[in-house]
Copies of this chain bind each other. A is one copy, B any other.
Amino acid sequence: MKLEQAAKQLEALGNPTRLKLYRILVRAGEAGRPVGTLQESLGIAASTLSHHLHRLILTGLVSQERQATTLICRANYPIMRDLVGFLADECCADAASNPAAGEAAA
């Protein structure tokens, strides 16, 4: 995974409203959640929710599927796993196991 992309995804999750939103979607599982119920859960304006949802979708963390008039939102688990993998590989595992700590930073 490229650093730039990881940064974009981290930024997307780095807002309390979006992190709450994303957590709700993750816990909703494959069933997902219609936008309307997300709005009720979060208690924010529909336009604000739409904006945050859009940002999560742009990074690939969330996807949408139309079902008649409602839009079902789902967490994109593989993307999240890649992101966690990036953090673990690039930023954590190295620290404990990499003996050549000084060289990689250049």
Contact = CB atoms under 8 A, between A and B. Distances in A.
B16 A4 contact: yes
Interface stretch (A24-32, A44-52, A64-72): A24-32
Contacts of A9: 14
- Oligomer copy total: 2
Interface string A1-43: 0011011111111111001101111111111010000000100
Contact of A95 (B10, B16, B29, B100): B29
Contact of A29 (B8, B12, B101): B101
B3 A102 contact: no
Interface of A: 3-4, 6-16, 19-20, 22-31, 33, 41, 75, 77, 80-81, 83-84, 87-88, 90-92, 94-96, 98, 100-102, 104-106
Given A10-B10, A30-B101, 7 more contacts: A4-B16, A13-B14, A26-B95, A27-B95, A28-B105, A84-B88, A87-B87
